[in-house]
Chains A and B, each alone.
Chain A
Amino acid sequence: MNRFQPGVRRHLNPTRLLSAIAALVVLAACGGSTPTTGGLGSGPLLVGVLAPFSGADASFGPRYLAGCYAAALSINGAGGVGGRQVSCQEFDTRGEPADAVPAANAMISGNSNLMGVVGCTSDEASTVVPILDRSHIPMTCMTGQSEFNKTNFTYFHRLVPPDSFDAYAMIGSALFGPGHAPYKNIALVFGDDIGSQTFVGPAVAALNKLGVNIAINQAIHLGASSYRTEVQKMLLTHPDVILTETIGSAGTYLGEVKQLNGGKMIPFIGTSATIDPVWFKQVVTAIGLTDFEANYTAVDLALSLSGPGYDEFVTQLTAADAKYSGSQALTYKGKSPTVHLYDGIILDALAMVAANSSDPTVYNPKIFTIANGVPGATVVNTFADGVAALKAGKSIRYVGAAGENNFNQWNNSQQGYNLVTMDKNGNEVVIGQLTQAQTQQIIDAGGNA
C-alpha cells in the first residue's frame, strides 16, 4: 500500500490557466481600427523606425530615427500629407531576428496608421521584410544582404547598395582608382559579423575571376581589445592595399598596422559604411590626420550631400535636434543612412499625395515612379515643392538629400559609384568615379548573387 500522499497542493486547472492566457493575448493584440478607403483620410500618420535600439547595434536606431524626425518636420511644415501630421516612433528589434518578429507584429497590430517603415537592417531584415510586405507597408531598408538583390517583395525598397556591390566598387577602386597604379596584392580584413560577411564572398569571387592576388583574407573578431598578431600576420604578406570595414574596431586594427609597420601606413579602402563621423574619429585618433588623408579612400553611391534637397534636410535636422533634445539629431547630418531614410520617407509621403490615397496598395507603386521619374517630369527637391508641382498637375521626380535614385526592377536603387575620401573635418570629398564598363566588368566576375 502506498502511504505516500502529496501534501497541501493546489491543483491549477489547466483550462482556466489557458483561458487566462488567451484573454491576456487578446487584450495585448487589440488596437486596430478600420482602414480608410479613397482619399488621403484623416488623423495622424506614423512612420515606424524598426531597427536595433539596444544590443550590439544599438547605435543604428537613433541615426535612423533622426532621419525620420527631419522628414516629419519637413512634411508637417508643408501642411502634412493632405493635412495629416506625420510622427515617428521607434520599435526596438534588439538587433536579432527572434525579438524583431514580435516588434514588427506589435508595431503593425498597434498602429493602423502606418504610412511606411524605415530601418530593417541585416540583423533582422530576413524576418521582418516578409511580415511588412504581407501587411502592405512600404519600407525603406538598410540591409545590404544579397538575398534582397532580386527580391519579389514589392513593398521593399533599398536606397543603399547591397554589400556585394560595395565590395565590387572597392575592387574597382583598387584596380582603377586615381593616383596609383593598379594594386596587385590585396588584403581583405573584415569582421566576423553579419554585416561584414556579405562583402567577403563576392570580393573573393571577383578577385579570383579577375586574376588579382589576394594577399590574405582575414576575418577578425570585432570588439576585441587588440589585433597585434593578426596585423603582424597580415604585414608579412606584404599587401599593397587593405580592403576593410571593421566598424568599431578599425581604429584598433589600423592603429596597430601603423605601429607594427614602423610608423608607415598602408593604403586602405573602406566600404560606404566607413564614410561616417565615428569611423573617421576612431581611425584618425589611431593613425593621425596626415596618414588618414594620404591613405584612405572609400566608395559610395553617387551621393551628393549638397544641393537644395540636402539643405532642406539639414535645416529640418537642426530643428529636430532642438525639438528632441535627447536625439542628438545633428550629429548624424553626414551619415548616409540618416540621409537616405529621410529621402525614403519623403518619397512615401509624395507617393501618397500623388496617388491621393492612404491605401498602400495604391500608393506603393508611385514610390518607384517618383524616384525614377518619367520623361518630362519636374524635378523637385523637397516635399513642399513636390506637393506644389503635383497640385499644378505635373508629374514629379524627387531628387532629394542624397541625390538621385534609380530603382531597378527589384526596387534596388543603383547608380554609378564614386571614389571618395574624407577631408580634415570628416566631410566626404569625391575624388574619382568608376565607369559603367569598369563596374560591369567586376560585377560580371563576381556574380550578381
Chain B
Amino acid sequence: MNSYYAATLAVYAGVDIIACIALNLQFGVSGIVNFSFIVFQAAGAYTAAVLSMPPDSAYGGYQTYIGGLQLPFPIPWIGGAIVGGLLAIPVGLVVLRKLRPDYQAISLLVLSVIANSLITNARTFLNGAAGIAQVPGPFSNQVDPLAQSYQLLYVGLTLPCVLLVWAVASRIVNSPFGRSLRAMREHEVAATAIGKNPVQLKMTVFIVGGVIAGLSGAILVGYIAVWAPSVWLYPETIILFAAVIVGGRGNNVGAILGALLVPVGFEEATRMIPPTIGGWVPPPNLIPAMQWVAIGLLIIGFLWFRPEGVRPEPRRVFEGAPVREDSERVLKS
C-alpha cells in the first residue's frame, strides 16, 4: 500500500473541501456566480509561494519573481488567505453592483481570463508561464519533504484547516448574516425592502470566500511545490461549480460531498480506468477526452434530475409558522 498516494488524496480532498465551502458561501448561500473563483485560490498560492521562497537568485537564478522573503510557517498560509480576501475587494467593487446575475458571471469569467493572461505575460512578476517552482512547504527544513513522515505531517496540517473552515462556514450559514444572505438570494428586492443592503452583503461574503479560497491555494502550493498559470485556467472554476451543484448548494455538508465526489472522486476514479478494455487498446487521447464529456454529462444530469444536489439545502422552518397547503417547500422538507 502506498502512503504517498493516500496522503495526496487526503491533502487534495482537504484543499477541494475548503475551496468548495468557500464557493458554496458565495454561490450556494448568496447566489453570486463567481466564475473567477479560481483566481482567488491562485492569489493565495502565489502569495504563499513568494512569502516562503528564497530570493529569486537562488538555485542558479532560473526564475524571476517578486518577494522571496523566506518566511516560516504559518505566515505564508496566513498571507495567502489575507491576499485572497484583499483581491476580492477591487473585483467585488467592479462587478458586484447592480448587474444582473448572468452579466456578473460573464464579467467574472472574463476577469479570470485576463488575470491568467496578465500573469503569463508579465514575466518578472511571477515568472510567467513557467510559474514558480521549488516552493518549500511548511517545516521542510526540519523534516525531509520526500520522506513519508512529511506526508503525515502535511495531512496533519491540512485537517485542522478543514475543520476550522467548516466551523467558520457553519457559523456563518446558521447566523443572522447567513439568513440575510439567503434572503438576498431568494428575493433581493424583498430583502432590500426590509433594510438589507445587498451590495454590502455581497461584498462581505465575497471577501470571506476570497480569504478561504486563498487559504486553499496556500495549502496546495506547499504540497505540490509548484504553481503556474496552467494550474488555474478558467475550467477549474467550472469543476468546482459542478462539485457544489452535485453535492448540494447552500449547505456545507453538500459542499464537502461535492468536493469528494467531483474533483477528488470523479477525477481520480477515471485514473483507474484500465488501459485495455477486453483486448482493445483505445487511442491514447480518447479516455482523457471522454472524462470531460462525462463531467459535462454529470453536470447536465444533476441539473435535470436532482437540481438540489445529493444533499439538498435543508429548509428551515419556523416553529409555529402557518403551513400552507400549497407550499411545496414545506412538503419537501
Listed in ascending order, the chain A residues whose CB lies under 8 Å from chain B are 3-10, 12, 17, 21, 24-26, 28-32, 53-56, 58, 61-62, 65, 89-92, 94-99, 101-103, 105-106, 108-110, 122-123, 126-127, 130-131, 133-135, 145-147, 149-150, 192-194, 196-198, 201, 219, 221, 324-328, 449
B281 touches A21 (CB 8 A): no
B28 contacts partner chain A, Cβ-Cβ < 8 Å: no
B314 touches A26 (CB 8 A): no
B286 touches A106 (CB 8 A): no
Rounded to whole angstroms, the CA-CA distance of A219 and B291 in the bound complex is: 33
B60 touches A449 (CB 8 A): yes
B226 touches A127 (CB 8 A): yes
Question: Given A8-B333, A97-B230, list of 15 further CB < 8 A pairs?
Answer: A7-B333, A12-B253, A53-B287, A58-B288, A94-B288, A96-B231, A97-B224, A102-B9, A106-B5, A147-B60, A192-B120, A194-B129, A194-B230, A201-B62, A326-B284
B93 contacts partner chain A, Cβ-Cβ < 8 Å: no
Task: Kindly list chain B residues whose C-beta atoms are within 8 Å of the C-beta of A134.
Answer: 146
Rounded to whole angstroms, the CA-CA distance of A325 and B288 in the bound complex is: 18
Listed in ascending order, the chain B residues whose CB lies under 8 Å from chain A are 1-6, 8-10, 12-13, 59-63, 117, 120-121, 123, 128-131, 133-134, 145-146, 220, 223-228, 230-231, 253, 256, 260, 265, 267-268, 271-272, 275, 281-289, 291-292, 314-320, 333
A28 touches B6 (CB 8 A): yes
Q: List 10 A-B contacts (CB under 8 A).
A: A6-B316, A29-B2, A91-B271, A92-B271, A95-B230, A105-B5, A109-B5, A110-B5, A122-B130, A131-B4
Task: Kindly list chain A residues whose C-beta atoms are within 8 Å of the C-beta of B146.
Answer: 130, 133-134
Q: Which residue of B lies closest to A99 (CB)?
A: B267
Q: Nearest 4 pairs between A and B by C-beta?
A: A326-B283, A109-B2, A54-B288, A7-B317
Task: Kindly list chain A residues whose C-beta atoms are within 8 Å of the C-beta of B228.
Answer: 96-97, 194
B284 touches A327 (CB 8 A): yes
Task: Kindly list chain B residues whose C-beta atoms are within 8 Å of the C-beta of A10.
Answer: 314
Residue among B59, B230, B283 facing the most chain A CB atoms (10 A cut-off) = B230
Task: Kindly list chain B residues whose C-beta atoms are within 8 Å of the C-beta of A219.
Answer: 121
Of A56, A147, A327, the residue contacting B230 (CB under 8 A) is A56
Task: Kindly list chain B residues whose C-beta atoms are within 8 Å of the C-beta of A327.
Answer: 281, 283-284
Q: Which residue of B lies closest to A4 (CB)?
A: B318
B130 touches A449 (CB 8 A): no
How many A-B contacts if CB must be within 8 Å?
184
A194 touches B130 (CB 8 A): yes
Residue among B130, B220, B260 facing the most chain A CB atoms (10 A cut-off) = B130
Task: Kindly list chain A residues whose C-beta atoms are within 8 Å of the C-beta of B283.
Answer: 62, 326-328
Residue among A25, A108, A133, A198 facing the most chain B CB atoms (10 A cut-off) = A25
Task: Kindly list chain B residues whose C-beta atoms are within 8 Å of the C-beta of A3.
Answer: 318-320
A193 touches B319 (CB 8 A): no
Of A4, A95, A324, the residue contacting B281 (CB under 8 A) is A324
A5 touches B319 (CB 8 A): yes
Task: Kindly list chain A residues whose C-beta atoms are within 8 Å of the C-beta of B253.
Answer: 12
Q: B253 → chain A, closest Cβ, in Å?
A: 5
Q: Which residue of A lies closest to B3 (CB)?
A: A29
B284 touches A90 (CB 8 A): yes
Q: A125 → chain B, closest Cβ, in Å?
A: 9
Task: Kindly list chain B residues whose C-beta atoms are within 8 Å of the C-beta of A6.
Answer: 314, 316-317
Q: Which residue of B lies closest to A95 (CB)?
A: B230
Rounded to whole angstroms, the CA-CA distance of A197 and B265 in the bound complex is: 35
Q: Which residue of A lies closest to B318 (CB)?
A: A4
Q: A406 → chain B, closest Cβ, in Å?
A: 22
Task: Kindly list chain B residues whose C-beta atoms are within 8 Å of the C-beta of A21.
Answer: 13, 260
Q: B182 → chain A, closest Cβ, in Å?
A: 13
